[in-house]
Amino acid sequence: MRLPFSLFLFSVIVICMTAYAAESSFQNRQIAHDLNRSWIVDGRLTDEAYTLLTAIRADSSILCSKKRYNLEQIDELLQKCFLSDKFESQLNRALNRAFSLYISDRRDGCFDPLEIYGGQVHIDDRVKQSVEEGDNILLQRLEYALRRYETVEADGGWKRVPQISRLLKKGDESVAVRLIRKRLFKSGDLNDSDFSNTFFDETLEEAVKLFQTRHSLKSDGIVGPMTLAAINTPIAQKISLMKLNIERLRWLTGESEDFIVANIPEFTLTLYRENSPKITMKTVVGRRKRPTPMISDMMSYAVLNPYWRAPETIVRDDILPKLKAGKFDYLEKIGVTVSRSMDGNESVDMRSIDWNRFDGGDLPFIFMQKPGPRNYLGFVKFMFPNDLDIYIHDTPESHIFEYEERTMSSGCIRVEKPVELFHALFADEDNNRWSYKQIVKEIIKNREREVGLAEPMPVYILYMTAYADEKGRVHFLPDIYGYDRIMRNYLDNFAGRLEYEKRALFK
């Protein structure tokens, strides 16, 4: 059921003024209905108009300049509209434009991801055409956390802890402990507000461990140089990073309560049902030279016992150099075969070809592995067909999930628990046919089988270097691909330019 317009705008105010992001309900269908609404009745501005203007001015999560909403022009017209119908008409158009642009910015972000990241972003429009209403839960959490951090900043933020001459750990006594206590209390890691205590006790140790976990540091409860550097990061930097991530979330996430999310810098994948995480697992993502792109798409099917067909980049950069070097034994050992057809029926002897004739472009061959335990894709792959040829899959190299940093793939995402993910997606479909027992029986057949989802599910491959968990705690992750730096550089260069509009809605 669609919210009445007055309640819709009130929800915007709730977000901006009371920090309760979960109340938001920005509806793309409503935008079209309200493009030509009247904001002036009997010569007076409506309550909804005042609510809209207050919301725009109060909303600090909008990354681009608010000059794009022409608030100064609206203020000038407010002074003139009572003089003539002409000014009243201009004011109504300006308010309609501000409203539509603001809702678009809240829903889709206000910058063009392709202009910032080029081919490292893929967005399927179907993701935004969901029947549900409201922001994605990941976006809600981070917006709510942003308000809390801004409240702390408005209260003076946190003071810098001076450099310490030695490691501080449980059992130590130091004046610096008091400052650390106050700092961790400010960020919500410590509940104890006795800032006069100079003894490093077990309560403080647990708070330090929580802080370290949130900042991707070794969680040992010891305050050393790296932990102290994280402690002394100004709150303004944290807020700026959260806003970058909110913008990226707006580009990519839709409104569905059921979705799959893979966070690239965290090396994790989670399946959400009704906005609650149902299964989480480790991932392997693209190497820095072959980064995993940010993707928003619809997963439509999975494949058991998949063939692996080498994408063009792997053929060009990995396989062809080995063929030119005559490393046929290596390729045969790992099960790579050459065919002129996608099904592998027109096989070719790789030793009979003069590979030095080819440069990697438009080769008339398909390089593949048949299903089996050595297959690069393992026993399961999950498909959301896209031009970047990126998907989620199993791997025969299970040991790689033991590493902390897992930038090891050629761009696709390898998952730690593929069978569990398949079961979680399909167990309730096809009359509960896909039990664990049935999945294993199908895998043992060693024949490729495609299994379709009854309803395609949104899949988000995100680059969240700041996110809020279910308890509202904000986690900060390393910028493994430099995507934050790229975005900051873009914004710095953008700052002196004229107002930017993502698309020409009002020409």
In which band, very low, low, confident or very high, does the pLDDT at 363 lie, cut at 50, 70 and 90? confident
Residue 146 in domain:
no
- Helix/strand/coil for 259: strand
- Whether 387 has a pLDDT exceeding 50, the answer reads yes
- Whether 84 has a pLDDT exceeding 90, the answer reads no
Write down the mean pLDDT value for the chain.
87
- Whether 134 has a pLDDT exceeding 90, the answer reads no
- Whether 17 has a pLDDT exceeding 50, the answer reads no
Torsion of CA 279, 281, 286, 292, to 10 degrees: 20
128/185 same-domain check:
no
Residue 156 in domain:
no
219/276 same-domain check:
no
Which residues are paired to 304 by β-bridges?
380, 449
336/435 same-domain check:
no
Residue 82 belongs to domain spanning:
5-109
Q: What is the pLDDT of residue 59?
A: 95
Residue 145 in domain:
no
Q: What is the C-alpha radius of gyration for the chain, rounded to an integer number of angstroms? A: 27
286/433 same-domain check:
yes
Q: Which of 321, 337, 363 is the last residue of a domain?
A: 363
Residue 384 in domain:
yes
**Which residues are annotated as catalytic?**
393, 412
Q: What is the pLDDT of residue 133?
A: 56
SS3 string, 183-215, reads HHHHCCCCCCCCCCCCECCHHHHHHHHHHHHHC
CATH of the domain at 385: 2.40.440.10
Q: Which of 231, 265, 280 is the last residue of a domain?
A: 231
129/278 same-domain check:
yes
128/219 same-domain check:
no
What is the token pair recorded at 498? 């004229």
338/486 same-domain check:
no
266/415 same-domain check:
yes
Which residues are paired to 383 by β-bridges?
301
DSSP one-letter string for 450-480: EEEEEEEEEEEEE--SEEE-TTS-EEE---T
Q: What is the pLDDT of residue 317?
A: 86
| Nearest partner of 462 among 233, 296, 234, judged by Cα | 296
- Distance of alpha carbon 283 from the chain centroid: 15
Residue 155 in domain:
no
Q: What is the pLDDT of residue 500?
A: 45
Q: What is the pLDDT of residue 493?
A: 84
Task: Please state the pTM of the whole predicted model.
Answer: 0.87
| Nearest partner of 240 among 335, 146, 121, 325, judged by Cα | 146
Q: What is the pLDDT of residue 132?
A: 53
Residue 142 in domain:
no
Measured CA to CA, the distance from residue 406 to residue 246 in angstroms comes to 25
65/125 same-domain check:
no
277/395 same-domain check:
yes
Measured CA to CA, the distance from residue 219 to residue 222 in angstroms comes to 8
- What average pLDDT score do residues 161-178 get? 94
Which residues are paired to 121 by β-bridges?
294
Q: What is the pLDDT of residue 379?
A: 96
Q: What is the pLDDT of residue 284?
A: 98
- What average pLDDT score do residues 114-125 get? 94
Residue 259 in domain:
yes
Residue 208 in domain:
yes
Measured CA to CA, the distance from residue 444 to residue 437 in angstroms comes to 11
Q: Which has more confidence, 313 or 442?
A: 442
Q: Which of 341, 363, 385 is the last residue of a domain?
A: 363
Q: What is the pLDDT of residue 285?
A: 98
- Whether 11 has a pLDDT exceeding 90, the answer reads no
| Nearest partner of 285 among 260, 265, 271, 270, judged by Cα | 265
122/227 same-domain check:
no
Q: How many other CB atoms sit within 10 Å of the CB of residue 246?
A: 21
CATH of the domain at 183: 1.10.101.10
8 A C-beta contact, residue 377 and residue 345: no
Which residues are paired to 271 by β-bridges?
260, 279
Q: What is the pLDDT of residues 294-307, one digit of tens each?
A: 999 999 999 999 99
- What average pLDDT score do residues 249-267 get? 96
Non-local (6+) Cβ contacts of 144 within 8 A are 19, 20, 21, 22, 468, 472
Q: What is the pLDDT of residues 178-223, one digit of tens each?
A: 999 999 999 999 998 889 999 999 999 999 999 999 999 999 999 9
- Whether 365 has a pLDDT exceeding 70, the answer reads yes
391/432 same-domain check:
yes
8 A C-beta contact, residue 472 and residue 141: yes
| Nearest partner of 271 among 284, 258, 282, judged by Cα | 258
Tally of domains in the chain:
4
| Nearest partner of 288 among 485, 6, 124, judged by Cα | 485
Non-local (6+) Cβ contacts of 1 within 8 A are none
In which band, very low, low, confident or very high, does the pLDDT at 52 lie, cut at 50, 70 and 90? very high
In which band, very low, low, confident or very high, does the pLDDT at 14 lie, cut at 50, 70 and 90? very low
- Whether 1 has a pLDDT exceeding 50, the answer reads no
